[in-house]
């Protein structure tokens, strides 16, 4: 049976030096910076969007940018932007994948962000973040943690994202963060048609969020690219799904014929997608939670005067998502 990574080889760690570490992004009229201290990811999610930018060895060779803390501090000191821009940790890897146990680059960089009063958002599907519970708790008004959860079914998780911790363990860690009043959200993303889109799965995740005390829940459907489509067909086979039926269903709801072009980045049929997402929103609201990101309060940021031309305007992640 084919896998999308080398099942029999443990990931290899390679230390490297980077020239830059903060990279600006713009979505609509909003801006921020991404911070990725690793390249590659041991979580090995079959649907990973980040593989596009890197090599096919993305899952097996983990590069650690071991000068990241030093470069980050230099880049922040030289920041010339008119705004204090939030930093997204991470956009193309998981900052708390197992490599972090060895290198501690995320922890060191978070300390630097805190030193310069830079707000940050961490996206993760790891339990290792519990190591830094107190660090984030001390900065609770200027950060939030977004947990990506795709499935409550362990059999599916082990195949779909074999390097991630069990979903139940992630919820246990969320409970610890919430008990420290750290802002946490759950992003059910990506929702994968025929694999994780059942009412049973979504309802279970929403119930687990409620029990953990999560207040903000939202989700998004899978976008389809040629490399993701190749891996997804392996997932179908590993889950013993009916291949002809599954492939035809995807062709219909994503509107394509094989082979997928390399420049395709397809969304599911709009009306189907919005019906499903509206259904999730209703369930989240019925359970007393909010369908969207928590707001960070602007007036809680004492901006550091080292930043030039700061106009004290702060963006929230809602700004990014709504644009
Ligand atoms: S955790 Fe994120 S970056 Fe890592 S493999 Fe999964 S989707 Fe990709």
- DSSP string for 110-149: HHHHHHTT--EEEEE--SGGGGGHHHHHTTGGGEEEEEE-
Protein residue with its CA nearest to atom 8 in ligand 1: 48
Is the pLDDT assigned to residue 302 strictly greater than 60? no
pLDDT tens digits for range 123-174: 999 999 999 999 999 999 899 899 999 999 999 999 999 999 999 999 999 9
Nearest CA to ligand 1 atom 3: 93
What residues line ligand 1, using a CB cutoff of 6 Å? 41, 43-45, 48, 50, 93-94, 125, 161
CA angle 76, 78, 81 (to 5 degrees): 85
**What is the spatial distance between Cα 182 and Cα 180, in angstroms, rounded to a whole number?**
6
Give Dmax over CA atoms of the chain in angstroms: 61
For a pocket test of ligand 1, which of 36, 40, 46, 93 has the largest count of ligand atoms closer than 8 A to its C-beta? 93
Q: Specify the pLDDT at position 294.
A: 62
Atom of ligand 1 minimally distant from the CA of 58: 5
Predicted local distance difference test score (pLDDT) of residue 206? 98
Question: Is pLDDT at 51 greater than 90 in this prediction?
Answer: no
Is 80 exceeded by the pLDDT of residue 196? yes
Q: Which of 159, 143, 126 is nearest to 41 (CA)?
A: 126
DSSP 35-78: E-SEES-TT--TT-SGGGTS-GGGGTEEEEETTHHHHHHHHHHT
Query: ∠ at Cα 54 (51, 60), nearest 5°?
Result: 75
Please state which of the four CATH numbers 2.40.50.140, 3.90.1170.50, 3.40.50.2300, 3.20.20.70 is assigned to the domain occupying 12-322.
Answer: 3.20.20.70
Give the tens place of pLDDT for each residue, 222-252: 999 999 999 999 999 999 999 999 999 999 9
Say how many Å lie between the CA of residue 223 and the centre of ligand 1: 14
Least confident of 51-60, 96-105, 215-224: 51-60
Instruction: Tell me: pLDDT of 317 over 50.
Output: no
- Per domain, the residue ranges of the chain are 12-322
pLDDT exceeds cutoff 50 at 301? no
Q: How many CB atoms lie within 10 A of CB 70?
A: 14
pLDDT confidence of residue 299:
31
What pLDDT band is residue 291 in, cutting at 50, 70 and 90? Answer: very high
Q: Residue 319: which pLDDT band, with cuts at 50, 70 and 90?
A: very low
Across the range 212-231, mean pLDDT stands at: 93
User: For 90-124, what is each residue's pLDDT tens digit?
Assistant: 889 999 999 999 999 999 999 999 999 899 999 99
Radius of gyration of the chain, Cα coordinates, nearest whole angstrom: 20
Are 182 and 145 within 8 A, CB to CB? yes
Q: pLDDT value at position 143?
A: 92
Mutate-to-test residue for ligand 1 from 36, 44, 94, 227, highest number of ligand atoms within 8 A of CB: 94
CA of 247 to the centre of ligand 1 (A): 24
Whose alpha carbon is nearest atom 6 of ligand 1? 45
Residue 53's pLDDT is 55
Residue 262 has pLDDT above 60, yes or no: yes
* pTM of the complete model: 0.89
Count of H-run helices and E-run strands, the chain: 11, 10
- Rounded to the nearest whole angstrom, what is the distance from the C-alpha of residue 305 to the centroid of ligand 1? 36
Q: Ligand 1: which of 48, 58, 98, 126 to mutate, judged by most atoms within 8 Å of the beta carbon?
A: 48
- Give the pLDDT score at 313: 37
Distance (Å, whole) CA 302 – CA 304? 6
- Over residues 282-292, mean pLDDT: 95
């Amino acid at each position: 049976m084919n896998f999308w990574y080398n099942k029999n080889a443990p990931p290899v760690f390679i230390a490297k030096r980077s020239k830059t570490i903060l990279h600006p992004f713009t979505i609509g009229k909003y801006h921020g910076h991404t911070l990725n201290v690793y390249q590659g990811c041991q979580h090995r999610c079959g649907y990973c969007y980040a593989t596009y930018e890197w090599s096919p060895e993305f899952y097996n060779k983990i590069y650690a940018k071991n000068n990241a803390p030093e470069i980050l501090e230099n880049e922040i000191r030289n920041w010339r932007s008119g705004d204090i821009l939030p930093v997204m940790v991470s956009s193309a890897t998981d900052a708390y994948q197992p490599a972090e146990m060895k290198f501690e680059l995320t922890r060191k960089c978070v300390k630097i962000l805190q030193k310069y009063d830079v707000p940050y958002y961490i996206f993760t599907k790891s339990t290792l973040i519990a190591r830094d519970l107190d660090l984030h708790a001390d900065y609770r008004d200027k950060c939030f943690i977004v947990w990506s959860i795709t499935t409550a079914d362990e059999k599916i998780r082990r195949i779909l994202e074999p390097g991630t911790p069990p979903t139940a363990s992630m919820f246990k860690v969320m409970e610890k963060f919430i008990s420290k009043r750290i802002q946490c959200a759950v992003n059910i993303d990506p929702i994968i048609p025929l694999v994780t889109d059942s009412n049973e799965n979504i309802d279970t995740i929403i119930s687990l969020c409620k029990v953990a005390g999560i207040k903000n829940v939202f989700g998004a459907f899978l976008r389809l690219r040629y490399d993701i489509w190749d891996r997804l067909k392996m997932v179908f086979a590993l889950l013993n799904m009916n291949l002809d039926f599954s492939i035809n269903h995807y062709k219909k709801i994503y509107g394509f014929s094989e082979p997928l072009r390399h420049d395709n980045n397809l969304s599911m049929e709009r009306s189907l997608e919005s019906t499903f997402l509206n259904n999730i929103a209703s369930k989240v609201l019925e359970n007393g939670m909010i369908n969207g990101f928590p707001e960070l309060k602007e007036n809680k940021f004492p901006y550091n005067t080292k930043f030039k031309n700061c106009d004290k305007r702060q963006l929230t992640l809602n700004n990014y998502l709504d644009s």
